[in-house]
């Protein structure tokens, strides 16, 4: 069943009746993606929160000079959106793009609000998801302020080995806030050890 992963994701935190599961699934829009497809571009109204059913996505910001900064990666069993713009129904600040062939389930903001009303347990579920995301981002900011680039790279490789296999070195460097050339020198230094 294609929805098995998302139901498992949800039932890690809340218990649903079969009727509640069916209602939740009825609100989802399945979207296959090919590599480099965008599900959100900067300036576009952010209408969806997305569950990655298969594949890998990358959320990034592009500055005025065209430099990309990767904000996050999302692999199977993860949620991704431009959260500030999704919650406030604003034009996106981020771009979200498929790194490889992927499949997502999209949940529209107004459907999420209906879900909160009809199945109040989903408020608990999304509170937990948002808390976990906030914690992850806070730790990332602290690490970027307190650790060397090499230590941040080591942490990334240890914590996210699956992502490291699926994205380019340039994208990892962008996530770590360093140049691809500097990342190459870090990797070269490690291979000599």
Question: 41-56, pLDDT tens digit by residue?
Answer: 999 999 999 999 999 9
Q: Is residue 11, in this structure, part of any structural domain at all?
A: yes
Q: Is residue 38, in this structure, part of any structural domain at all?
A: yes
Q: Is residue 184, in this structure, part of any structural domain at all?
A: no
Q: Is residue 168, in this structure, part of any structural domain at all?
A: no
CA atoms of 32 and 98, how far apart (whole Å): 10
Over the Cα atoms of the chain, what is R_g? 18
Question: How many C-beta neighbours within 10 Å does residue 5 have?
Answer: 17
CA nearest neighbour of 46 among 87, 105, 103, 74:
87
Residues 6 or more apart whose CB falls under 8 angstroms from that of 163 comprise 56, 73, 75, 156
Residues 6 or more apart whose CB falls under 8 angstroms from that of 58 comprise 70, 72, 73, 74, 96, 97, 99, 167, 171
Q: Is residue 133, in this structure, part of any structural domain at all?
A: no
CATH number of the domain that residue 88 is part of? 2.60.120.10
pLDDT digits (tens, 9 = 90+) for 73-114: 999 999 999 999 999 999 999 999 999 999 999 999 999 999
Distances in Å between the Cα of 129 and the Cα atoms of 77, 78, 125, 135 are 12, 9, 6, 10
> Could you tell me if 109 and 74 are in contact, meaning their C-beta atoms sit under 8 angstroms apart?
no
Q: Is residue 105, in this structure, part of any structural domain at all?
A: yes
Give the total number of structural domains in the chain.
1
Is pLDDT above 80 for 1? Answer: no
pLDDT digits (tens, 9 = 90+) for 129-175: 999 999 999 999 999 999 999 999 999 999 999 999 999 999 999 99
Q: Is residue 189, in this structure, part of any structural domain at all?
A: no
Band the pLDDT of 184: cuts 50, 70, 90.
confident
Question: How many C-beta neighbours within 10 Å does residue 62 have?
Answer: 14
> Could you tell me if 164 and 172 are in contact, meaning their C-beta atoms sit under 8 angstroms apart?
yes
> Could you tell me if 46 and 91 are in contact, meaning their C-beta atoms sit under 8 angstroms apart?
yes
pTM, two decimal places: 0.92
Quick one: how far is CA 118 from the chain centroid? 26
Domain that holds residue 21: 4-118
Q: Is residue 56, in this structure, part of any structural domain at all?
A: yes
pLDDT at 193: 64
């Amino acid at each position: 069943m294609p929805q098995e992963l998302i139901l498992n994701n949800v039932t890690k935190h809340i218990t649903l009746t079969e009727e509640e599961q069916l209602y939740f699934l009825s609100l989802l829009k399945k979207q296959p993606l090919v590599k480099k497809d965008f599900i959100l571009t900067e300036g576009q109204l952010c209408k969806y929160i997305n569950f990655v059913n298969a594949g890998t996505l990358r959320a990034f910001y592009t500055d005025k000079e065209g430099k990309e900064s990767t904000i996050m990666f999302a692999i199977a069993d993860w949620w991704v959106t431009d959260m500030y713009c999704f919650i406030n129904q604003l034009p996106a600040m981020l771009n979200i793009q498929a790194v490889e062939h992927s499949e997502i389930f999209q949940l529209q903001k107004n459907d999420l609000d209906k879900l909160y009303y009809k199945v109040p347990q989903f408020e608990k579920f999304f509170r937990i998801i948002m808390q976990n995301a906030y914690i992850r981002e806070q730790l990332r900011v602290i690490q970027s302020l307190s650790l060397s680039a090499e230590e941040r790279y080591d942490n990334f490789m240890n914590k996210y080995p699956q992502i490291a296999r699926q994205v380019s070195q340039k994208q990892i460097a962008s996530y770590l806030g360093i140049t691809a050339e500097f990342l190459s020198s870090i990797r070269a230094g490690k291979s000599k050890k």
